[in-house]
Structure 1
Amino acid sequence: MWNWKCCLLLCSLLCLQNLINPALSLSSDGLSLLSLKSAVDGGATAFQDWNEDDPTPCRWTGITCTNITGVTDPRVVGVSVSGKNLRGYIPSELGTLVYLRRLNLHDNNFYGSVPDQLFNASSLQSLFLYGNNLSGSLRPSLCNLSRLQNLDLSNNYIAGTIPKDLQNCRQLQRLILSRNRFSGDIPTGIWPEMPNLVQLDLSANDLTGSVPEDIGELKSLSGTLNLSFNHLSGKIPKSMGDLPMAVSFDLRNNNFTGEIPQTGSFGNQGPTAFLNNPSLCGFPLKKQCENGSETAPGNRNQSPESDSNDNSPRKGLRPGLIILISMADAIGVSLVGLVIIYVYWKKKDSHSCSCTGKGQFGGNGKSKLCVCPCIGGFPSDDSEADSEKEGGGSGSGVGGEGDLVAIDKGFNFELDELLRASAYVLGKSGLGIVYKVVLGNGVPVAVRRLGEGGEQRFKEFLAEIQAISRVKHPNIVRLRAYYWAPDEKLLISDFISNGNLASALRGRTGQPSSSLSWSTRLKIVKGIARGLAYLHECSPRKFVHGDIKLSNILLDNEFQSYISDFGLSRLITITGNNPSSSGGFIGGPLPYLNSVQPERANNYRAPEARFSGNRPTQKWDVYSFGVVLLELLTGKSLELSPPTTSTSTEVQDLVRWVRKGFEEENPLSDMVDPMLLQEVHAKKEVLAVFHIALACTEGDPEVRPRMKIVLENLERIGT
C-alpha cells in the first residue's frame, strides 16, 4: 500500500515539473526562435505551430533544418517569415543561431534597428529585411559576417552614411540599400575590395557628392547599376565605362554636370539612363554640349572694350595677313584631301582595325575595335554592283511568262533543270512550303514557294530581293536566285544540311538530344549573335529580322549556325496569297512531309512587340535572341512543350521563371539543362551566358543592350 502511494506521489511530481518548465525538451535553436514569436504582436496567432513542446523546430512553418557534419541533431539553417504583415522588433537572440544561413523577414512591419547581436550568426549568407519600418544606421559590425553574400535592406528608414567597413564584406554579391535615408558621399576605396559584387542599388536615398572613380573596378557587376533619385553631383566618371558591357546604368534624377563619356559601357546606354540631370549633355541625350573651344566668358567681355579703344585705321588687311590667310586655306584644303584619302583606304582595307581591340601581329598596343569587319560578310563594291545588275536584269514584264534570275554569277542553272529535279518537302509554315531540290550537278538547294499573288507589285518585290541579296554573311542563309511569274514566286537559297536548332535541342521526337554539348551550344549562339549584329550594324538598311526563334536557326554538319527566313515577312506581304493553300510547282512524287510543330511565336516577342501598330525595332531581335539563349541554357523548348504539361506555366513564360529562380537564389542545377551538368568546367561560362540572356530579355527596351554589345560579351566567354 505504501509503495503504491509513493509511486503516485512521484508521478505527480514529474507532471508538475513538466508544467513548470515545459520547454526543457526543446532544442537551443528552438528556444532562440521562440524569442521571435514573443517579439511579434499577436505572435501566438501568427506562429500557431511554433510549439515549445516540440523537441526541435524543424517542422515549424518557415523553418529549414539540415544535418551538420559532426553535430548530432539537425540545426536551423533557414528562417523565412515574409509577407505576413507582422509587427514587432527583431530579437537579438536570433544571433545565437550559429548555423543560420538565410534570414528572410521581408515585407512585414518590423521596427527599430537591426541588433548588433544578429551579426554573431557567423554562418549567415543572405539577409533579406526589405519592406519593413527598420531605422537606425548600417552597423560596421555587419561585415563580421565573413560569408555574407546577399544584403537587401531596401524600402526601410535606415539613415546615416554608408560605412567604409563594407570593404570587409569581400564575399558580398548583392548590396541593395535603395529607398532608405542614407546620406553623405558614396565611400571610395571599398569597391575594389568587392570582387564578387554582381548587383549594386543605392537609389532613392539622400546621397551627395560625386561618384567615386573606383566604382569602375566592379568587374563582376551585371544587370543595372542604380544610383538614381539621389543628390549626386559632378561629372560622371569615365571609369564607369570600364564596367562589363552588359551593365546598364540608371543615373536619373541627380545633379550630374558636363558631357556624358563615350567610352566602353557608355555606348550601351539609352537616354532614359541619364534623364532629369539638367546640366548633363551629350549622346544619347538630345541636349548637345557647348563647344569646349569657345572663348571664355571673361575674354568675350574684354573683346568689345579693346576694339573700342583701338584707334588704328581699318581700311583693309595688311599684305602679310593676306599671305597668312592664303597659306592657312591651302593647308586646310590639303588636310581635307588627306582625310578623304584616309577614310577611303580605311574603308578599302578592313585590316586597319582589330577584332579584339589589340594591336596586330601579337603586339601589346591598342587599336580600334571594329565591329563590322570582325563580324564578317562585308561584300565588295563589285559584288554589290553585280547583285543589282543581275537582280534587275530579268523578268521585266509584270504579267510575262516568268524568269529564273540567278543573283550570284557562280550559281547558274536553268528553270527546266529546276523543274526536272527531284524534290522533297521539308516543311510548311505561314511563310510558304519549303522543298529540298537536288540539281543535276548534285548540289542541293532550298526552294521556298511564296504564293501566286502580287503580280502588280513586281518593282516592290524586286527592291526587296535586291536588298536581301546584299546581305552576305557566314551566319545568314544566302539567297541565290528567285523566280517571278504571275502565278508563281519562288526563292532559291542554300540548303543547310543538319536541320534546325529546335530539332537539335529537343530531337524530332521531342526528347532531349545528347549531341549539344556546352561547347557546341556556345558555338551556335556566337554564330547567331554574329549574324544578328551584322544585320543590325553593317547591312545596308540596318535591318530588323523580326522573327528570331529556334526553328529559324539552321545548322550544318559542323554545328555552324545560320539565320534563316530573313526578309520573308515583307515578301509574303507583297505576294499576298497564302503560299500553302495550293499545290507545289514541282512535278513528281513528294517522298515525305515532315510534320511541323505548332510554334507559339508570341513567347519570342518582346513585350512592346505584342501590341499591334508598334514599329519593329532591333531591340525586338535582342529580346528574341535572349529567349533563344534561355532555351539553350535550360533545355526547355517554347515550341515543342505542350501547354497541357505540368510545367506549362514555366515553359510559356520562361523569362519570368528564370528571373524568379535568380531572385530566389535557386541552385543553378535547378534551372540549367541536365545535359550540361556533366561538364563541370562550364559552370562559370553557363552563368555568364545566363546574365547576358537576362540583360537581353529586360522588359524595358532602352535597358536592353545593342546586339554588337551582346556579341562582344559572348566572344569573351570560352576564349
Structure 2
Amino acid sequence: MAAMPWLLLLCVAASGTLQARAQPDSKGFISIDCGLSGERGYVDETTKISFVPDAGFTDAGTNHNISAEYVTPSMAKSWYNVRSFAGTSAGTRSCYTLRSLVSGLKYIIRAKFKYGNYDGLDRKPIFDLHIGVNYWTTVNVSDPETVTWEEAIVVVPDDFVQVCLVNIGAGTPFISGLDLRPLKRKLYPQVTAEQGLVLFKRLNFGVTNAATFFDTVTWGTISTTSKVEHDVNKDIFEAPTAVLQTAIRPRNASGNLDFNWRLEPTPNDPSPGCIFILHFAELQVLPSKAVRELNVVLNDKPLYTSGFMPVHLYDSTAYNSIPFRHSGYNLSIKATANSTLPPIINAFEIFSVIPTTNLGTDSQDVSAIMEIKAKYQVKKNWVGDPCLPKTMAWDRLTCSYPPGSPTRITSVNLSSSGLDGDISSALANLKTVQYLDLSNNNLTGSIPDALSQLPSLTFLDVSGNQLNGSIPSRLLKRIRDDSLDLRYGNNPNLCTNSNSCQLPAKKNNKLAIYIVVPAVLAVIVSVILLLFCVLKRKKRSMNNSVTRRKEMITTYPPGNNVCTDSSLQRLENRRFTYKELEMITNNFQRVLGRGGFGYVYDGFLEDGTQVAVKLRSHSSHQGVKEFLAEAQILTRIHHKNLVSMIGYCKDGEYMALVYKYMSEGTLQEHIEVGSNHNASRLSWTERLRIALESAQGLEYLHKGCNPPLIHRDVKATNILLNARLEARIADFGLSKAFDDSNDTHVSTNTLVGTPGYVDPEYQATMQPTTKSDVYSFGVVLLELVTGKPAILREPVPVSIIQWARERLARGNIEDVVDSQILGGYDVNSVWKVADIALKCTAQMSTHRPTMTDVVMQLQECIELEKARGGDDITSDRFLSGNSGENPNLSYDAYTTNQSTNVSQNNSTFEMEHNFKRLPTMDTGPSAR
C-alpha cells in the first residue's frame, strides 16, 4: 500500500556512499536501489540517503529501466529502475540477503515498487513477500504509475535476514527498492519474536501537503513551531517532533474525528489482528476556563472509563497492546461532556499483525550451506531458507523438522553436480548431517580430517573424483567401529594409510575386512549372550516368587503412550502389598483428599520418606481403567515438572498408587487463599515460576513423549506444589496418546474434563488435541493473574475468560490483577501473561500457540520480572516453619476427580482485546 513514510524522519540517513557489500553502514542502515547497474552507489540529493546497487544482495534477476512515459522531473532516482525475476515459475522465490545485523533486534524493513511498464507488456503482477520463512504480505500492483510501499517491523532472530519475492502465478515479481533501519529495543513493544507489524496506514495530520488524508472542509488545523517533547524514559513510539507539531480538529465545535477502515484477510490469517497508535499533543495555550478532554470510541465502545486531556507540548500516546480482531473498524475521537473544546489528533498509525513464529533452519547450518553454495556456484533452486517452507526446500537436501526447535540439514547430495576445487571446510559445520554424497565430480586435494568429527555422519561418498593423499586415520577408525560407510573408489591417487600413496587393487578390500570381521565376531558374541540370557530367564521363571519389586505388566492397551526417553525400560517402581499400605498410612488414619477414584492418605515409608497414597474405592466407577492408565503412564514419563510415582499396589481387589508427597498441596488452594487461610499467598514471581514449570511439564507431554500425550484435564487442582513451591502436573487418569505423524487428534466417545477448562472445539468435535491442553492452561494462567476461579458464580455464572476479556479491553490491568498477590510486580509481565492467556483460550485451536511457544513467552515474562528485581522474592520462605506438616492442604489432584462428562453448552465468547495505556496514569493515555 502507499503510505506517507514519516518514520523516515526518525531514521536519519548516514552520510557517505555505501559500497555494495550486502551489509549496513555505520548507523546500521541499508538502502538498496534495486536494478541499479554497476558497483557504485550514490547519495540522494533531497533526502541525503545513501543508496547502493543490489548486486551484492542477490544473485538472481535482471536489471530494467521503467518506460520513459512514467519518468517525471520530480521523481527520485531510485524509481528509475527495477530488478525483475522473470523466468521464475509459480511457487518459486527470489531473495535478498541482508547481513551483519544484530540478532534479536527490531528492524523496519521497507520494500518499494513502481512497475512503470518496465517490460513493455503492461501486465501488472501480483506476488507475495516473505521475511525469512514467514509470510509478510501480497503485493498487488494497481497501475504502472502508482508507487507502492510495503513496510514491516520485525525482530530479526539471526545476524542476517532474507526478504523473498514469491511467484504465485499471477505475474513476474519485481522490486524497485529495499530499505532496512534498526530500531531501539523499547520501541513498538507489540513487536516480539512471535509477532511482527505490517503498516496499513500512517497519517500525519495537519500538514498542508497531506491532502490525500486531510478533509479541509470538515477538519481544521492547529500547528506550532515549538518543540513537542517526549518522555525519553517511557516513550515507546517516538513520533518525530515535526509530525507532532501539527494536528487537526473538527471545524464543528461539537463534531467528532471519525475514521474507518478494514483489513483484508491474508492466506495465513482470515481475520488479521489490528494494532493502532494515536498521538495527542496540545499545541495551544488554553484559556484558564477552557477544557479539552476527549475519549476514544471503537465500534461504539468507549476504550476508557473516563476521558483524558492532552498535555501541552508533550506527546500522549494511546494504543492497544493486544490485537483487535473485527471485520471492520469505526473509530471516533469525541469530546467528553466536561470538554469546552473539540477533540484533536496529531498522528495515527495502523498496523496489521503477522505471526513470525516459524523458525528458520538452524543459523549455523544456513551459514555453512550458503558458503558451500558460493564456493561451488550451485544454482538449482538454492535460494532463501534451505529447508523452509517445505514446498520450497532446496533440491538435493534433506532436513529434519524437530518440533519447537530449528530445522536441521541431515543430508546433502551433490553427486554429479560439476563441483571442482577442494572439499569445502564448511561441510564440517553441518553438525547434524548423516548422509553426504560428493561422488562423480572433479574434486581435488585430500579428504578433510574435520569430516570425521561430524557426530551424525553415517554415509560419506567421495568416489569418482580426483582426490589424493591418505584417508584420515579417524575416518578409518569410524569404519572399523562400523559407524561410517565410506565410499572412495575411482580416486587414483587416494590411499588408505599414510605409509604409501600407491593403492593396489586388492587393497580396496582392506576396509571391507575392517568392517566384516568385527561384525561377524559381534554377531557370534551376541548369539552366545542371547542363549545365556534365555536359559537364565527360564530358570528364573521356574523359581518365581512375589517380591516387593515385582514387575508390573507393561503391555499397553491401544491408544496409550510410551515416552521416548523410557519406552524400553521395565517398571521398577516398588510394588506394595495392602498390608504394607496399612502400615505406611498408620491404618489409613489421615486423609489428604478425595476424588472420583477414591481417598488419598498421608503416609511414611520405612526410611521416613513422606508419601501420598491414592487408594481406589470399591464404589468408584472410574477405578480400574483410570488406575491402569495412570500407572502405566507414570512408570514411563520422567520430567521434573510431572508428579513422581514411587510405587503401586495391585493386591487382589485393592488398587493404589503411591506418590511423592507434595507438602504445599494444590495451586488452586494458593490462588483461592481468601477461602483457605491455611494456604500461603503467592508473589507474582512465584506465580510466574509455577506457570513456567507447569508449562514445561505439559510441553514434555506434547513433545517429549512418543506418541505425544494429551492430558485432557489441566486445571489448578491438578498442579501440585512442593515445599519450594515447585510445580508438578498430576492426575493422568484421563490422558490419551495420539500419533502426531499421522493424525492431529484423538477420537473419543466421551467428553471428559472439568467445566470452565474444556476446549470449546473439543466439545464440538469430541476430538481432543494438544491445543485442548493449551486452552485449559490458558484458563490456569488467568486464574494466576486474577485470583478468580475458572467459573465465577456471582452475580451470575460467567467464565473467567469472558470476565477477563471484558475488563482487559478497558485497558486497565488493575481491574483484573489479583489483589492478594504478595509484593509488587512488573506491569508489563502481567500484561504479557494476560496476553498469553487470551491467545491460549482462542476459540479456534489454530489460533492458539503451542506449549513450546507458551514456555518461551513465559520465560520472557520472568526476564521482565527479574529486571524489576522481582527475583529477590523467592520461595525459600516456605522452607522454614511447618508448611510440610499442614494437614489442611488437600490432595484432590492426586485423585482421578469427578470431572468427566462435562456439559457441552459452554457459551461462545467474542474475541475482545486490551486497549492499553501506560501504567503511570490512572486514566487515559500516558502524557510524555
For normalisation by structure 2, the TM-score amounts to 0.35
More strand by share: 2
Q: Could you say which structure has the greater relative contact order, defined with CA pairs below 8 angstroms and 6 or more residues apart? A: 2
More helix by share: 1
